[in-house]
Amino acid sequence: MALSVKLKWSGSLYDLEVDPGMKVSDLKEMVKEKTGVLPQRQKLLNLKHKGKPAGDEMKLEELKLKQKMTIMMMGTREENLEDVLVPPDVGEIIDDFDIDDEVEIKLHNRSEHLAKIERRVREYEVKKLNDPRPGKKLLVLDVDYTLFDHRSNAERAEELMRPYLHEFLSVAYVNYDIVIWSATSMKWIEVKMQELGVTNNPNYKIAFFMDHAAMITVHTPEYGVVNTKPLGVIWGKYDFYSAKNTIMFDDLRRNFLMNPQTGLKIRPFKLAHLYRSTDDELKKLSTYLTLISSLDDFTTLEHRKWERYVRKRLEEQGKEET
């Protein structure tokens, strides 16, 4: 017997006629026809089997669907997803483009850039979650490809999470206030961080989130217009943070074009399904953060050589790298 159920998504209700013999993947196709949300982007919240999200191969009859039941969905149409992933004012910039490691970029129009930064300091509102802690250093983290593989598909956000993320943030939090700064939209950052269990984690606290609206575009002779994350925005808003106590991780060097010495280019975390079992970048970097945290001045460091630094310090301490 066919069942009449409703799908609730984005404030609207959709009627669906389903057959108990259908698989979850068939249902997702049906939902795609109705809503335009691709199956891999659909999160059917109350479609569960023994408390866990129902797998695509499960049959609806295993899931205790009832007549007139309302299935709740979270999900985004592909075209809308692009809207939130690509900041609206930087349409001409290719997302993954980066500048060469060895090229020293000379920025022209310095005063113009400083004026843009000053405007962000005045007008941009960070999304504050927790108070800064006086005396702590500052760690600024990118999201996509740094903490999360945003291009692979998965049923659950955790499958795309970089290994050791929570351990890394727990260790970092001891000595650093933590800021998440992504070139996407605030809504997207909030959804992702919530899904990953970062926002309300019992073992660490995030100071604040920043999104694409805090970034500025700069002109470079070699690369044209480049969108970048100037730490001056944070330093201008909070005078106890500076180049001396700040470090920023990003998989794109261009994001720290305005403050190259403060940036550490992390290896990108891509193809999560292949590398989830071997990637230990965050684990190793947590050791680096701990080792440098006792320094008074980070401007003496060369983050490019962070691995060598870790090896040497641990050797001096008679410890093995783990």
Which range of residues in 66-74, 77-85, 249-257, 306-314 is near Mg ion by CB under 5 A? 249-257
Indicate the DSSP class of residue 267.
Answer: P
Q: Which of 154, 166, 132 lies closest to 239 in space, CA to CA?
A: 132
**Exposure of 181 by Cβ count < 10 A (0-12 exposed, 13-18 middle, 19+ buried)?**
buried
Which range of residues in 114-122, 220-228, 244-252, 292-300 is near Mg ion by CB under 5 A? 244-252
At its nearest, how many Å lie between Mg ion and the CB of residue 220?
19
Going from the C-alpha of 146 to that of each of 66, 105, 161, 250, 285, the distances in angstroms are 42, 23, 9, 6, 12
User: If residue 283 lies in a helix (H) or strand (E), which one and from where to where?
Assistant: helix 281-292
At its nearest, how many Å lie between Mg ion and the CB of residue 268?
7
At its nearest, how many Å lie between Mg ion and the CB of residue 8?
33
Q: Which residues contact 226 (CB under 8 A, 6 or more apart)?
A: 93, 99, 217, 218, 219, 220, 254, 257
Binding map of Mg ion across residues 128-157, x = CB under 5 A, - = no contact: --------------x-xx------------
Binding map of Mg ion across residues 261-300, x = CB under 5 A, - = no contact: ----------------------------------------
- The three-state secondary structure class of 33 is helix
| Site membership for Mg ion, residue 177 (CB under 5 A) | no
At its nearest, how many Å lie between Mg ion and the CB of residue 251?
4
In the bound state with Mg ion, the residue whose beta carbon lies nearer, of 142 and 177, is 142
In the bound state with Mg ion, the residue whose beta carbon lies nearer, of 9 and 209, is 209
Residues lying near Mg ion in the complex (CB under 5 A) are found at 142, 144-145, 251
